[in-house]
Amino acid sequence: VREHWDKIDLDDRAECLQYMMECGRLRQPVRKTPRLVTEDEAPFTVKIEGKDETFPVGTTVLVPNQFAMVDEGVWGPTAFEFNHKRPGLAEKFMAFNSVGNRTNGRICPGRSIVFQMIPDLIRECGKMRRQPDFKHKAKK
């Protein structure tokens, strides 16, 4: 993603935010969301490898939301490619136990801090990277 970082408009905070979200879409900090099966939704049945599996009340089910972030049915045929200008990115972004700004009452407590700080870090570090005297040592 460095080649994209080196091309974004660092003075456009919205573009830095989109860059951050696309990085998070492809490499989520929170990959699974725990969900407790409750009385009002029992029986909780899902299809796994073509077979219905039912979970009793009180079972904690881990929902692998990282798969939703690369689902071609949601993101199209370029789901595994980096595109920070992807349509619907903000509305469908799920990296903080939410879908866009929608939540079921649980959301990562650090989400608002990340949305404020990381675009600024992307901008400032990106400006440093673009300095002629910047020395980047790539990992081998």
Q: Is the pLDDT of residue 140 over 60?
A: no
pLDDT band at 79 (very low <50, low <70, confident <90, very high): very high
- Examine the pLDDT at 55 and tell me if it is beyond 70: yes
**CA-to-CA distance for 12 and 6, rounded, in angstroms?**
13
- Three-state DSSP state, 33: strand
Burial class (CB in 10 A: 0-12, 13-18, 19+), 61: middle
Strands, DSSP E only, in 1-140? 33-36, 44-48, 51-55, 60-63
CB 71 within 8 A of CB 86: no
Report how far apart, in Å, the C-alpha atoms of 99 and of each of 69, 79, 135 are.
10, 17, 39
Share of the chain above pLDDT 70, in %: 90
Strands (E), 49-133: 51-55, 60-63
Which has more pLDDT, 97 or 19? 19
The Cβ-side half-sphere exposure at 38, using a 13 Å CA radius, reads 4
pLDDT at residue 51 is higher than 90: yes
DSSP letter, residue 40: G
pLDDT at position 41: 81
| pLDDT confidence bin for 137, thresholds 50/70/90 | low
